[in-house]
Amino acid sequence: MSLVSTADPREPQADPTSAPLPELMRQATAHLAPVVPLLTELGGLFAAAGHELALVGGPVRDAFLGRVSPDLDFTTSATPDQTLAVLRPWAEAHWDIGREFGTIGARRGGHTVEVTTYRADAYDGETRKPVVAFGDNLEDDLVRRDFTVNAMALRLPSMEFVDPYGGLADLAARRLRTPGTPELSFGDDPLRMMRACRFVAQLRVDVAPQVRAAMVQMAPSIGIVSAERVRDELTKLLLAPTPRPGLRLLVESGLADQVLPELPALRLEIDEHHRHKDVYEHSLTVLDQAIALEGPPGGPPESVPGPDLWLRLAALLHDIGKPATRRFEDGGGVSFHHHEVVGAKLASKRLKALRFDKDTVKAVARLTELHLRFHGYGDGQWTDSAVRRYITDAGPLLPRLHRLTRSDSTTRNARKAARLSATYDALEVRIAALQEAEELAKVRPELNGNEIADVLGIRPGPVLGRAYSFLLEVRMDQGPIGRDAAEAALREWWAQQPESTGPGEA
């Protein structure tokens, strides 16, 4: 395969004889080789119908990075109807859910392709939806792409490499620029500013100075973008291999003030446990450490296979209750009493505003609420009852809570860090022993609802629910005590209830 560049000579280019660019070309050739037959076949079909076709965007960029893209994105001179006419007889399945934006999808064998008509999307600056206008040539389509590293293409079936805006040189320099002015690019779609943060995390690039300046200036315009699109970009950023630099850019550009204000609010808050760094830096470190504790992809659930969105969100947000709970104590100390409870409410509110699903909202809020529980363990003074509560309160989130709690130790005192780690090791041993002995995941009172009703002579209703909850508390506090002892405890409880002396629900 031969990749021939048609880069614009007016754009600054890296020396073609330098090491990075030839290596990138070699990687691209190797990684695109498996799909070359597919590319040439599709290119031939479109050419035979009188249309242009090019592989574009992420798949081209990833080929130069030595990565394989799961999907293949194409751009074409054909209209959506013409594209469908070409793909329908070729594909095993096709769909037109993106027809409004010029996109037709298809699948054949193990390949999924999306073909989009040359276009020029733009926002009108007031609404949340892009205005779609179809274009008539590849170069004009590429200039409306978000960044130069995504504005590279391969014309098909000739495999001619098209790079009019210097994307390959930027990729080699690990630099993120826009094909046109950043003000025009971000004006077309303000979400591209968040995408810049995501690419910093995913691709380990840095934004060009003019791009950073435009992000700072235009950050408020992210407000016209739907919460769902913001959520999706934030999720992709957090699931990147190294989210920290992307989150820094999100904060430093002012975008976080618009979409995740709880994060920049942490910068000035001094953490009473970690005086050497503010809570913002502490939270980023906790996120790094939580990522390091994730299990390998595809591992068992108890290993928390990475990347895990719930764990990463909880690590980032676990201390967001501190600004609202900060108190200056006599003697110069600082306290953040109940910040975990306040933080859980704030996390829930923010994630709901970003349209995260209910399970994610509930899980992250619960982890935030529980992240300090271990600090009451001391040197192991918890009773078995307290350990049982720790297990059951965490429920299926326990493996994530283990990792969040361990990650929350960012002290530079090696002796203190070792002591905390050893103490948590001991807690995990106790947890494992209790889980094995008592099957706490399935813990139930030693009398079921029907049996409780028979003992007390009551019907199903609120009183029966209270009685069930009481016996569950007994089970948690005392462990298995046997049916007779449970019944005796129930009768003793019942004697103290007002319903026991009246007609009740019998």
State the pLDDT at residue 22. Answer: 66
State the average pLDDT over residues 405-423: 88
365-369: which pairs have CB atoms within 8 A and are 24 or more residues apart? Answer: 366/394, 366/397, 367/310, 367/311, 367/314, 367/318, 367/397, 367/400, 367/401, 367/404, 368/314, 368/317, 368/318, 368/320, 368/321, 368/340, 368/343, 368/344, 369/340, 369/341, 369/343, 369/344
Its CATH class, for the domain covering 181-260, is mainly alpha
- SS3 string, 146-203, reads CCHHHCCEEEECCCEEECCCCHHHHHHCCEECCCCCHHHHHHHCCHHHHHHHHHHHHH
**pLDDT > 50? residue 10:** no
State the pLDDT at residue 20. Answer: 53
- Which of the two residues, 386 and 81, has the higher pLDDT score? 81
Least confident of 58-72, 245-259, 260-274, 446-460: 260-274
CB atoms within 10 A of CB 410: 19
pLDDT in tens, 146-193: 999 999 999 999 988 999 999 999 998 999 999 999 999 999 899 999
Under the banding of pLDDT at 50, 70 and 90, the label for residue 14 is very low
- Which of the two residues, 197 and 336, has the higher pLDDT score? 197
State the pLDDT at residue 402. Answer: 94
Helix (H) or strand (E) holding 421, with range, is helix 414-438
State the average pLDDT over residues 247-252: 98
**pLDDT > 90? residue 256:** yes
- CA 242 to chain centroid, in Å, comes to 12
CATH code: domain 1-176 is 3.30.460.10
State the average pLDDT over residues 334-340: 78
State the average pLDDT over residues 435-454: 76
State the average pLDDT over residues 330-353: 86
State the pLDDT at residue 506. Answer: 38
pLDDT in tens, 494-506: 888 887 765 444 3
Residue 369 and residue 344 in contact, taking contact as beta carbons nearer than 8 Å: yes
Residue 150 and residue 57 in contact, taking contact as beta carbons nearer than 8 Å: yes
Domain extents in the chain: 1-176, 181-260, 262-442, 449-501
State the average pLDDT over residues 34-56: 94
Which DSSP letter does residue 380 get? T
Residue of 81, 113, 85 whose CA lies nearest to 100: 81
Distance, CA of 279 to CA of 269 (rounded, Å): 6
Residue of 266, 261, 195 whose CA lies nearest to 230: 195
Residue 500 and residue 458 in contact, taking contact as beta carbons nearer than 8 Å: no
CB atoms within 10 A of CB 35: 18
Looking at every residue in the chain, the average pLDDT score rounds to 86
Distance, CA of 259 to CA of 255 (rounded, Å): 6
Q: Both ends of the chain: CA-CA distance in Å?
A: 85
Distance, CA of 150 to CA of 172 (rounded, Å): 13
State the average pLDDT over residues 468-497: 84
State the pLDDT at residue 16. Answer: 30
**pLDDT > 90? residue 334:** no
Helix (H) or strand (E) holding 207, with range, is strand 206-207
**pLDDT > 60? residue 437:** yes
State the pLDDT at residue 504. Answer: 42
Residue 90 and residue 104 in contact, taking contact as beta carbons nearer than 8 Å: no
Under the banding of pLDDT at 50, 70 and 90, the label for residue 263 is very high
**pLDDT > 50? residue 5:** no
- How many Cα neighbours within 13 Å face the side chain of 470? 18
Tokens of 232: 């999706």
**pLDDT > 90? residue 230:** yes
State the pLDDT at residue 438. Answer: 65
**pLDDT > 50? residue 330:** yes
Under the banding of pLDDT at 50, 70 and 90, the label for residue 19 is very low
Instruction: Annotate 97-125 with b (16+ C-beta within 10 A) or e (fewer).
Output: eeeeebbbbbebeebebbbbbbbbeebee
**pLDDT > 50? residue 62:** yes
State the pLDDT at residue 484. Answer: 87
State the average pLDDT over residues 29-52: 91
CA distances from 343 to 238, 320, 363 (A): 19, 5, 13
Residue 159 and residue 2 in contact, taking contact as beta carbons nearer than 8 Å: yes
Under the banding of pLDDT at 50, 70 and 90, the label for residue 377 is confident
Q: What percent of the chain has pLDDT over 90?
A: 50
Distance, CA of 39 to CA of 73 (rounded, Å): 11
**pLDDT > 60? residue 440:** no
State the pLDDT at residue 129. Answer: 59
Residue 440 and residue 392 in contact, taking contact as beta carbons nearer than 8 Å: yes
Under the banding of pLDDT at 50, 70 and 90, the label for residue 126 is low
CB atoms within 10 A of CB 495: 9
Counts for the chain of helices (H) and strands (E), in that order: 23, 11
Distance, CA of 215 to CA of 146 (rounded, Å): 13
Omega of the bond leading into 301 within 30 degrees of 0 (cis): no
Q: How many residues does the chain have?
A: 506
CA distances from 137 to 52, 146, 287 (A): 9, 17, 44
Which DSSP letter does residue 133 get? -
Instruction: Annotate 318-354 with b (16+ C-beta within 10 A) or e (fewer).
Output: bbbbbbbbbeeeeeeeeebeebbebbbebbbebbeeb
State the pLDDT at residue 288. Answer: 97
State the pLDDT at residue 80. Answer: 93
- SS3 string, 93-128, reads EEECCCHHHCEEEEEECCEEEEEEECECCECCCCCC
